[in-house]
Chains A and B, each alone.
Chain A
Amino acid sequence: MGNPIQTDALIIGAGPVGLFAVFELGLLNLNCHVIDILNKPGGQCAQLYPEKPIYDIPAYPVITGQDLTENLLKQVKPFSPVFHYEQLANKIRKQKNGNWLVETDKGLVFDVKAVVIAAGGGSFEPKKPNIPDLDKYSKSIRYSIDKVDRFKNKDIVILGGGDSALDWTLQLYDIAKSLTLVHRRDKFRGAPATVEKVMSLRDGGKIQFHVGQVNEIIGSDGNLTAVKCIKENKILDLPCDILMPFFGLTMSLGPVDKWGIDLSDERIVVSTETFETSIPGIFAVGDINTYPGKLKLILSGFHEAALMAHAVFKRINPDEKHTLQYTTTSSSLQKKLLNQ
Protein backbone atom coordinates (compact mmCIF):
# COMPACT_ATOMS: atom_id res chain seq x y z
CA MET A 1 0.00 0.00 0.00
CA GLY A 2 1.45 3.35 -1.05
CA ASN A 3 1.22 6.59 0.89
CA PRO A 4 -2.38 7.73 1.12
CA ILE A 5 -3.39 10.78 -0.89
CA GLN A 6 -4.90 13.32 1.48
CA THR A 7 -7.71 15.65 0.50
CA ASP A 8 -11.05 16.90 1.79
CA ALA A 9 -13.41 14.82 -0.30
CA LEU A 10 -13.08 11.84 -2.60
CA ILE A 11 -15.70 11.68 -5.31
CA ILE A 12 -16.36 8.22 -6.69
CA GLY A 13 -17.60 8.62 -10.24
CA ALA A 14 -16.81 11.30 -12.82
CA GLY A 15 -20.30 11.40 -14.34
CA PRO A 16 -22.12 14.74 -14.69
CA VAL A 17 -23.18 14.69 -11.06
CA GLY A 18 -19.72 13.82 -9.72
CA LEU A 19 -18.29 16.67 -11.81
CA PHE A 20 -20.81 19.19 -10.54
CA ALA A 21 -20.13 17.97 -7.00
CA VAL A 22 -16.52 19.14 -7.50
CA PHE A 23 -17.90 22.59 -8.30
CA GLU A 24 -20.22 22.84 -5.32
CA LEU A 25 -17.57 21.57 -2.90
CA GLY A 26 -15.04 23.91 -4.49
CA LEU A 27 -17.22 26.94 -3.83
CA LEU A 28 -16.99 26.00 -0.16
CA ASN A 29 -13.19 25.71 -0.32
CA LEU A 30 -13.20 21.96 -0.19
CA ASN A 31 -10.66 20.17 -2.36
CA CYS A 32 -11.50 17.01 -4.26
CA HIS A 33 -9.99 14.07 -5.97
CA VAL A 34 -12.20 12.15 -8.38
CA ILE A 35 -11.89 8.52 -9.45
CA ASP A 36 -13.62 6.62 -12.21
CA ILE A 37 -13.29 3.12 -13.57
CA LEU A 38 -13.59 4.49 -17.10
CA ASN A 39 -10.72 6.19 -18.90
CA LYS A 40 -12.64 9.45 -19.35
CA PRO A 41 -15.13 11.71 -17.56
CA GLY A 42 -18.83 12.10 -18.33
CA GLY A 43 -20.35 8.83 -17.06
CA GLN A 44 -23.42 7.72 -18.97
CA CYS A 45 -23.49 10.95 -21.03
CA ALA A 46 -20.04 10.28 -22.46
CA GLN A 47 -20.20 6.51 -22.55
CA LEU A 48 -23.76 5.75 -23.66
CA TYR A 49 -24.97 8.75 -25.59
CA PRO A 50 -22.21 11.28 -26.40
CA GLU A 51 -23.85 12.49 -29.62
CA LYS A 52 -27.44 12.42 -28.44
CA PRO A 53 -29.12 15.71 -27.55
CA ILE A 54 -30.35 16.42 -24.02
CA TYR A 55 -33.23 18.88 -23.82
CA ASP A 56 -33.84 19.26 -20.10
CA ILE A 57 -30.73 20.94 -18.76
CA PRO A 58 -31.94 24.30 -17.42
CA ALA A 59 -30.96 27.22 -19.66
CA TYR A 60 -29.68 24.89 -22.39
CA PRO A 61 -32.46 24.36 -24.94
CA VAL A 62 -30.33 21.55 -26.31
CA ILE A 63 -26.89 20.15 -25.55
CA THR A 64 -25.18 16.86 -26.37
CA GLY A 65 -23.86 14.50 -23.71
CA GLN A 66 -20.33 15.26 -24.88
CA ASP A 67 -20.73 19.04 -24.74
CA LEU A 68 -22.35 18.87 -21.32
CA THR A 69 -19.32 16.94 -20.08
CA GLU A 70 -16.87 19.38 -21.62
CA ASN A 71 -18.72 22.36 -20.14
CA LEU A 72 -18.72 20.77 -16.70
CA LEU A 73 -14.97 20.17 -16.95
CA LYS A 74 -14.50 23.84 -17.81
CA GLN A 75 -16.72 24.83 -14.92
CA VAL A 76 -14.70 22.85 -12.34
CA LYS A 77 -11.30 23.80 -13.69
CA PRO A 78 -10.77 26.72 -11.26
CA PHE A 79 -10.88 24.25 -8.38
CA SER A 80 -8.11 22.07 -9.84
CA PRO A 81 -9.63 18.73 -9.00
CA VAL A 82 -7.35 15.74 -9.51
CA PHE A 83 -8.79 12.96 -11.68
CA HIS A 84 -7.70 9.34 -11.46
CA TYR A 85 -9.10 7.22 -14.28
CA GLU A 86 -9.30 3.46 -14.67
CA GLN A 87 -9.53 3.11 -10.92
CA LEU A 88 -12.33 1.19 -9.28
CA ALA A 89 -13.16 2.21 -5.74
CA ASN A 90 -12.92 -1.12 -4.02
CA LYS A 91 -12.57 -0.94 -0.24
CA ILE A 92 -13.42 1.63 2.37
CA ARG A 93 -12.38 1.77 6.01
CA LYS A 94 -13.04 4.23 8.78
CA GLN A 95 -10.07 5.52 10.74
CA LYS A 96 -9.79 6.48 14.39
CA ASN A 97 -9.78 10.21 13.62
CA GLY A 98 -13.06 9.90 11.71
CA ASN A 99 -11.44 10.10 8.26
CA TRP A 100 -12.01 7.46 5.60
CA LEU A 101 -9.44 5.36 3.80
CA VAL A 102 -10.58 4.39 0.32
CA GLU A 103 -8.57 1.91 -1.72
CA THR A 104 -8.84 1.32 -5.46
CA ASP A 105 -8.34 -1.92 -7.35
CA LYS A 106 -5.01 -0.61 -8.62
CA GLY A 107 -3.77 0.14 -5.12
CA LEU A 108 -4.28 3.91 -4.87
CA VAL A 109 -5.25 4.91 -1.34
CA PHE A 110 -7.08 8.07 -0.31
CA ASP A 111 -7.31 9.49 3.19
CA VAL A 112 -10.30 11.82 3.17
CA LYS A 113 -12.71 13.63 5.44
CA ALA A 114 -15.76 12.81 3.33
CA VAL A 115 -16.59 10.29 0.64
CA VAL A 116 -19.07 11.26 -2.04
CA ILE A 117 -20.46 8.36 -4.02
CA ALA A 118 -21.57 9.61 -7.44
CA ALA A 119 -21.44 6.16 -8.99
CA GLY A 120 -24.55 6.54 -11.17
CA GLY A 121 -25.85 3.27 -12.49
CA GLY A 122 -22.79 1.63 -11.00
CA SER A 123 -19.43 0.91 -12.47
CA PHE A 124 -19.19 0.14 -16.13
CA GLU A 125 -17.93 -3.33 -16.94
CA PRO A 126 -17.39 -4.96 -20.32
CA LYS A 127 -20.17 -7.25 -21.50
CA LYS A 128 -19.00 -10.82 -21.78
CA PRO A 129 -20.01 -13.03 -24.67
CA ASN A 130 -21.98 -16.16 -23.87
CA ILE A 131 -19.26 -18.73 -24.53
CA PRO A 132 -18.87 -21.82 -22.35
CA ASP A 133 -15.73 -21.85 -20.15
CA LEU A 134 -14.97 -18.21 -20.84
CA ASP A 135 -13.95 -17.66 -17.23
CA LYS A 136 -11.43 -20.53 -17.33
CA TYR A 137 -9.42 -18.60 -19.90
CA SER A 138 -9.57 -15.20 -18.29
CA LYS A 139 -5.85 -14.59 -18.77
CA SER A 140 -6.22 -15.03 -22.54
CA ILE A 141 -9.25 -12.75 -22.77
CA ARG A 142 -8.74 -8.99 -22.86
CA TYR A 143 -11.31 -6.23 -22.81
CA SER A 144 -8.73 -3.47 -23.02
CA ILE A 145 -5.06 -3.13 -23.72
CA ASP A 146 -2.64 -2.37 -20.95
CA LYS A 147 0.72 -3.37 -22.40
CA VAL A 148 0.92 -3.52 -26.18
CA ASP A 149 3.92 -5.89 -25.87
CA ARG A 150 1.61 -8.61 -24.65
CA PHE A 151 0.11 -8.74 -28.13
CA LYS A 152 3.35 -9.07 -30.08
CA ASN A 153 3.50 -12.13 -32.36
CA LYS A 154 0.21 -13.46 -31.04
CA ASP A 155 -2.80 -14.78 -32.88
CA ILE A 156 -5.51 -12.30 -31.97
CA VAL A 157 -9.24 -12.60 -32.53
CA ILE A 158 -11.34 -9.47 -32.07
CA LEU A 159 -15.13 -9.72 -31.75
CA GLY A 160 -17.50 -6.87 -32.53
CA GLY A 161 -18.03 -4.07 -35.00
CA GLY A 162 -18.06 -0.85 -33.02
CA ASP A 163 -15.39 1.77 -32.47
CA SER A 164 -13.44 -0.25 -29.90
CA ALA A 165 -13.23 -3.35 -32.07
CA LEU A 166 -12.09 -1.29 -35.06
CA ASP A 167 -9.65 0.92 -33.15
CA TRP A 168 -7.91 -2.06 -31.60
CA THR A 169 -7.76 -3.80 -34.95
CA LEU A 170 -5.86 -0.82 -36.36
CA GLN A 171 -3.65 -0.63 -33.31
CA LEU A 172 -2.66 -4.29 -33.20
CA TYR A 173 -2.67 -5.77 -36.71
CA ASP A 174 0.95 -5.01 -37.52
CA ILE A 175 2.45 -6.33 -34.29
CA ALA A 176 0.25 -9.42 -34.10
CA LYS A 177 1.17 -12.71 -35.75
CA SER A 178 -2.36 -12.76 -37.14
CA LEU A 179 -5.46 -10.72 -36.51
CA THR A 180 -8.98 -11.90 -37.23
CA LEU A 181 -12.03 -9.71 -36.86
CA VAL A 182 -15.37 -11.46 -36.36
CA HIS A 183 -18.61 -9.51 -36.54
CA ARG A 184 -22.26 -10.48 -36.96
CA ARG A 185 -22.72 -8.51 -40.18
CA ASP A 186 -20.55 -6.80 -42.75
CA LYS A 187 -21.57 -3.32 -41.66
CA PHE A 188 -19.65 -1.46 -39.02
CA ARG A 189 -20.65 1.20 -36.62
CA GLY A 190 -17.59 3.34 -36.36
CA ALA A 191 -16.07 6.56 -37.57
CA PRO A 192 -16.15 6.36 -41.41
CA ALA A 193 -12.41 6.89 -41.75
CA THR A 194 -11.72 4.05 -39.31
CA VAL A 195 -14.11 1.71 -41.10
CA GLU A 196 -12.41 2.53 -44.37
CA LYS A 197 -8.95 1.75 -42.99
CA VAL A 198 -10.10 -1.58 -41.59
CA MET A 199 -11.70 -2.49 -44.92
CA SER A 200 -8.52 -1.73 -46.79
CA LEU A 201 -6.55 -3.94 -44.38
CA ARG A 202 -9.02 -6.71 -45.12
CA ASP A 203 -8.83 -6.19 -48.86
CA GLY A 204 -5.04 -6.14 -48.69
CA GLY A 205 -5.02 -9.42 -46.74
CA LYS A 206 -3.43 -7.81 -43.70
CA ILE A 207 -6.27 -9.00 -41.48
CA GLN A 208 -8.90 -11.71 -41.78
CA PHE A 209 -12.54 -10.78 -41.50
CA HIS A 210 -15.48 -13.14 -40.97
CA VAL A 211 -19.19 -12.45 -40.71
CA GLY A 212 -20.08 -14.91 -37.99
CA GLN A 213 -20.10 -15.68 -34.33
CA VAL A 214 -17.57 -17.30 -32.02
CA ASN A 215 -19.27 -19.86 -29.82
CA GLU A 216 -16.56 -22.14 -28.55
CA ILE A 217 -13.05 -21.66 -27.25
CA ILE A 218 -10.26 -24.20 -27.04
CA GLY A 219 -7.08 -24.31 -25.03
CA SER A 220 -5.32 -25.84 -22.07
CA ASP A 221 -4.18 -24.69 -18.61
CA GLY A 222 -6.08 -21.45 -18.98
CA ASN A 223 -4.30 -20.54 -22.23
CA LEU A 224 -6.33 -20.23 -25.39
CA THR A 225 -5.13 -21.86 -28.60
CA ALA A 226 -8.10 -21.53 -30.93
CA VAL A 227 -11.72 -20.44 -31.22
CA LYS A 228 -14.53 -21.89 -33.26
CA CYS A 229 -16.50 -19.49 -35.38
CA ILE A 230 -19.82 -20.25 -37.06
CA LYS A 231 -19.98 -18.70 -40.51
CA GLU A 232 -22.98 -19.47 -42.71
CA ASN A 233 -23.58 -22.84 -41.06
CA LYS A 234 -19.93 -23.81 -41.43
CA ILE A 235 -17.54 -24.00 -38.52
CA LEU A 236 -14.17 -22.34 -38.87
CA ASP A 237 -11.24 -23.01 -36.55
CA LEU A 238 -9.33 -19.81 -35.94
CA PRO A 239 -5.95 -19.83 -34.22
CA CYS A 240 -6.18 -17.63 -31.16
CA ASP A 241 -3.86 -16.77 -28.28
CA ILE A 242 -5.82 -13.69 -27.23
CA LEU A 243 -9.53 -13.13 -27.62
CA MET A 244 -10.85 -9.57 -27.40
CA PRO A 245 -14.63 -9.25 -27.20
CA PHE A 246 -16.06 -5.74 -27.67
CA PHE A 247 -19.79 -5.78 -27.01
CA GLY A 248 -19.97 -2.54 -25.09
CA LEU A 249 -20.36 -2.00 -21.39
CA THR A 250 -22.89 -2.78 -18.76
CA MET A 251 -23.37 -1.15 -15.39
CA SER A 252 -23.38 -3.01 -12.11
CA LEU A 253 -23.39 -1.69 -8.58
CA GLY A 254 -20.01 -3.35 -8.04
CA PRO A 255 -18.11 -3.08 -4.77
CA VAL A 256 -20.39 -0.38 -3.33
CA ASP A 257 -22.84 -2.99 -2.06
CA LYS A 258 -20.20 -4.51 0.20
CA TRP A 259 -19.59 -1.32 2.13
CA GLY A 260 -22.38 -1.81 4.67
CA ILE A 261 -24.39 1.18 3.48
CA ASP A 262 -28.21 0.84 3.58
CA LEU A 263 -29.55 0.08 0.14
CA SER A 264 -33.01 -0.17 -1.31
CA ASP A 265 -33.45 -1.94 -4.63
CA GLU A 266 -29.72 -1.62 -5.44
CA ARG A 267 -29.71 2.10 -4.72
CA ILE A 268 -28.19 3.96 -1.78
CA VAL A 269 -30.70 5.37 0.68
CA VAL A 270 -29.98 9.02 1.57
CA SER A 271 -31.37 11.88 3.62
CA THR A 272 -32.86 14.50 1.31
CA GLU A 273 -31.53 17.24 3.56
CA THR A 274 -27.87 16.29 3.50
CA PHE A 275 -27.56 13.47 0.98
CA GLU A 276 -25.69 11.56 3.65
CA THR A 277 -26.03 7.77 3.59
CA SER A 278 -26.73 5.52 6.58
CA ILE A 279 -23.02 5.86 7.40
CA PRO A 280 -22.05 9.36 8.58
CA GLY A 281 -19.35 10.89 6.41
CA ILE A 282 -20.37 8.95 3.32
CA PHE A 283 -22.63 10.85 0.93
CA ALA A 284 -24.36 9.76 -2.27
CA VAL A 285 -25.62 11.92 -5.15
CA GLY A 286 -26.99 11.33 -8.64
CA ASP A 287 -28.44 8.16 -10.13
CA ILE A 288 -26.90 5.94 -7.44
CA ASN A 289 -29.13 7.23 -4.63
CA THR A 290 -32.79 6.82 -3.85
CA TYR A 291 -35.34 8.69 -1.72
CA PRO A 292 -39.07 9.26 -1.94
CA GLY A 293 -39.81 11.02 -5.22
CA LYS A 294 -36.34 10.47 -6.72
CA LEU A 295 -36.07 11.30 -10.41
CA LYS A 296 -33.02 9.93 -12.23
CA LEU A 297 -32.22 13.18 -13.99
CA ILE A 298 -29.04 15.18 -14.33
CA LEU A 299 -30.98 18.18 -13.03
CA SER A 300 -31.87 16.39 -9.79
CA GLY A 301 -28.27 15.27 -9.35
CA PHE A 302 -27.07 18.88 -9.58
CA HIS A 303 -29.48 19.96 -6.86
CA GLU A 304 -28.37 17.06 -4.69
CA ALA A 305 -24.73 18.04 -5.16
CA ALA A 306 -25.39 21.54 -3.79
CA LEU A 307 -27.10 20.31 -0.63
CA MET A 308 -24.48 17.59 -0.16
CA ALA A 309 -21.64 20.12 -0.37
CA HIS A 310 -23.13 22.26 2.39
CA ALA A 311 -23.62 19.18 4.57
CA VAL A 312 -20.02 18.08 3.96
CA PHE A 313 -18.82 21.57 4.89
CA LYS A 314 -20.70 21.45 8.18
CA ARG A 315 -19.37 18.03 8.97
CA ILE A 316 -15.77 19.06 8.34
CA ASN A 317 -16.10 22.48 10.01
CA PRO A 318 -18.68 21.95 12.76
CA ASP A 319 -17.85 25.21 14.52
CA GLU A 320 -17.51 27.49 11.56
CA LYS A 321 -20.44 29.73 10.81
CA HIS A 322 -21.33 29.46 7.21
CA THR A 323 -23.71 31.47 5.08
CA LEU A 324 -24.91 31.00 1.55
CA GLN A 325 -23.14 33.25 -0.95
CA TYR A 326 -24.09 34.03 -4.50
CA THR A 327 -21.51 33.57 -7.23
CA THR A 328 -22.78 36.75 -8.88
CA THR A 329 -22.10 39.04 -5.95
CA SER A 330 -19.55 37.38 -3.69
CA SER A 331 -16.09 38.73 -4.38
CA SER A 332 -14.41 35.83 -2.61
CA LEU A 333 -16.28 33.31 -4.76
CA GLN A 334 -15.43 35.24 -7.89
CA LYS A 335 -11.80 35.26 -6.94
CA LYS A 336 -11.88 31.49 -6.72
CA LEU A 337 -13.78 31.09 -9.96
CA LEU A 338 -11.41 33.31 -11.88
CA ASN A 339 -8.65 31.24 -10.29
CA GLN A 340 -6.63 34.10 -8.84
Chain B
Amino acid sequence: MVVINFISSKGVLKSVNAAEGETIMDCAKNNDIYEIEAECGGGCSCATCHVYIQDEWVDKLDAPTEMEEDMLDFAIDVKENSRLSCQIKIDKTLDGITIQTPEKQF
Protein backbone atom coordinates (compact mmCIF):
# COMPACT_ATOMS: atom_id res chain seq x y z
CA MET B 1 0.00 0.00 0.00
CA VAL B 2 1.08 3.52 -0.81
CA VAL B 3 -0.12 6.57 1.10
CA ILE B 4 -1.36 9.53 -0.90
CA ASN B 5 -2.10 12.86 0.81
CA PHE B 6 -4.75 15.03 -0.77
CA ILE B 7 -5.13 18.64 0.35
CA SER B 8 -8.32 20.36 -0.74
CA SER B 9 -8.47 23.95 -1.98
CA LYS B 10 -9.76 24.84 1.48
CA GLY B 11 -6.67 23.28 3.04
CA VAL B 12 -8.24 20.10 4.41
CA LEU B 13 -5.89 17.10 4.43
CA LYS B 14 -7.08 13.58 3.67
CA SER B 15 -4.55 10.75 3.63
CA VAL B 16 -5.63 7.58 1.89
CA ASN B 17 -4.19 4.20 0.96
CA ALA B 18 -3.75 3.52 -2.72
CA ALA B 19 -2.91 0.40 -4.66
CA GLU B 20 0.09 0.32 -6.95
CA GLY B 21 -0.95 0.38 -10.57
CA GLU B 22 -4.01 2.54 -10.18
CA THR B 23 -3.85 6.20 -11.15
CA ILE B 24 -4.04 9.11 -8.74
CA MET B 25 -7.39 9.93 -10.33
CA ASP B 26 -8.70 6.39 -9.57
CA CYS B 27 -7.47 6.72 -6.02
CA ALA B 28 -9.16 10.12 -5.63
CA LYS B 29 -12.47 8.85 -6.99
CA ASN B 30 -12.37 5.76 -4.76
CA ASN B 31 -11.87 7.97 -1.76
CA ASP B 32 -14.45 10.68 -2.50
CA ILE B 33 -11.97 13.44 -3.20
CA TYR B 34 -14.76 15.58 -4.59
CA GLU B 35 -12.62 18.31 -6.14
CA ILE B 36 -11.58 15.82 -8.83
CA GLU B 37 -14.26 15.38 -11.47
CA ALA B 38 -12.67 13.12 -14.09
CA GLU B 39 -15.55 13.41 -16.54
CA CYS B 40 -13.88 11.31 -19.20
CA GLY B 41 -12.95 8.55 -16.79
CA GLY B 42 -9.21 8.73 -17.36
CA GLY B 43 -9.18 9.18 -21.13
CA CYS B 44 -6.97 12.29 -21.06
CA SER B 45 -9.78 14.11 -22.84
CA CYS B 46 -11.44 16.35 -20.28
CA ALA B 47 -8.82 17.97 -18.03
CA THR B 48 -11.24 17.80 -15.09
CA CYS B 49 -8.86 15.65 -13.01
CA HIS B 50 -6.41 18.54 -12.72
CA VAL B 51 -4.22 18.65 -9.57
CA TYR B 52 -1.19 20.50 -8.21
CA ILE B 53 1.78 18.39 -7.14
CA GLN B 54 3.62 19.58 -4.05
CA ASP B 55 6.90 21.11 -5.21
CA GLU B 56 9.32 18.54 -3.80
CA TRP B 57 7.44 15.77 -5.61
CA VAL B 58 7.27 17.38 -9.03
CA ASP B 59 10.62 16.04 -10.22
CA LYS B 60 10.00 12.56 -8.85
CA LEU B 61 7.23 11.99 -11.37
CA ASP B 62 7.76 11.07 -14.98
CA ALA B 63 7.42 14.20 -17.06
CA PRO B 64 3.99 14.70 -18.64
CA THR B 65 3.56 13.31 -22.13
CA GLU B 66 2.75 15.62 -24.99
CA MET B 67 -0.84 14.38 -24.87
CA GLU B 68 -1.10 15.39 -21.22
CA GLU B 69 0.51 18.79 -21.86
CA ASP B 70 -1.94 19.41 -24.67
CA MET B 71 -4.88 18.51 -22.45
CA LEU B 72 -3.58 20.71 -19.63
CA ASP B 73 -4.30 23.64 -21.95
CA PHE B 74 -7.94 22.99 -21.16
CA ALA B 75 -7.57 22.94 -17.39
CA ILE B 76 -8.47 25.96 -15.29
CA ASP B 77 -5.79 27.82 -13.28
CA VAL B 78 -2.81 25.88 -14.58
CA LYS B 79 0.46 26.41 -12.71
CA GLU B 80 4.03 25.11 -13.04
CA ASN B 81 3.16 22.11 -10.86
CA SER B 82 -0.09 21.23 -12.61
CA ARG B 83 -0.74 17.66 -13.73
CA LEU B 84 -3.68 15.56 -14.83
CA SER B 85 -4.14 12.96 -12.11
CA CYS B 86 -5.43 10.29 -14.50
CA GLN B 87 -2.04 10.26 -16.20
CA ILE B 88 -0.04 9.48 -13.07
CA LYS B 89 0.30 5.79 -12.21
CA ILE B 90 0.94 5.03 -8.58
CA ASP B 91 3.99 3.02 -7.56
CA LYS B 92 6.10 2.63 -4.42
CA THR B 93 8.18 5.70 -5.19
CA LEU B 94 5.09 7.88 -4.71
CA ASP B 95 4.55 6.76 -1.11
CA GLY B 96 3.74 9.89 0.89
CA ILE B 97 3.20 12.22 -2.07
CA THR B 98 1.15 15.34 -1.39
CA ILE B 99 -1.30 16.57 -3.93
CA GLN B 100 -3.41 19.70 -3.85
CA THR B 101 -6.78 19.77 -5.57
CA PRO B 102 -7.97 22.95 -7.29
CA GLU B 103 -11.02 24.96 -6.34
CA LYS B 104 -12.55 24.58 -9.79
CA GLN B 105 -12.34 22.02 -12.57
CA PHE B 106 -14.65 23.94 -14.94
* A residues neighboring B (CB under 8 Å): 48-49, 52, 121, 127-130, 160-162, 183-185, 187, 189, 213, 247-248, 250-251
Contacts and interface: CB of A to CB of B under 8 A. Distances in A.
Nearest to A47: B45
Contact of B78 (A49, A52, A187, A213): A213
Given A247-B76, A250-B37, 12 more contacts: A127-B74, A128-B106, A130-B76, A160-B73, A185-B73, A189-B70, A213-B77, A247-B73, A248-B46, A248-B47, A250-B39, A251-B39
Nearest to B67: A189
Q: How large is the interface on B (under 10, 10 to 19, 20 to 34, 35 or more residues)?
A: 20 to 34
B69 A250 contact: no
A183 B45 contact: no
7 contacts: A48-B40, A48-B46, A49-B45, A130-B76, A160-B73, A184-B78, A247-B75
B100 interface: no
Nearest to A129: B76
Contacts of B74: 127, 160, 162, 247-248
Nearest to A215: B77
B39 A121 contact: yes
A199 B40 CA distance: 31
Contact of B73 (A48, A129, A183): A183
A158 B73 CA distance: 13
Given A48-B46, A127-B106, A184 B73 contact: yes
B84 to A, nearest CB: 13
Q: What's the dominant secondary structure at chain B's contact region?
A: loop
A225 B65 CA distance: 38
Interface string B61-105: 000000001101111111000000000000000000000001111
Contacts of A184: 72-73, 78
Contact of A127 (B72, B76, B78): B76
Contacts, number: 53
B43 interface: yes
Contacts of A52: 43, 45
A161 B73 contact: yes
Given A130-B104, A189-B70, A49 B43 contact: yes
A215 B77 CA distance: 9
Given A127-B74, A127-B76, A48 B106 contact: no
A49 B75 CA distance: 17
Contacts of A161: 73
Contact of B46 (A128, A129, A250): A250
Nearest to A122: B39
A189 B106 contact: no
A52 B45 CA distance: 10
Given A127-B74, A128-B106, A160-B73, A250 B48 contact: yes
Contacts of B102: 130
A250 B73 CA distance: 14
Contacts of A128: 76, 106
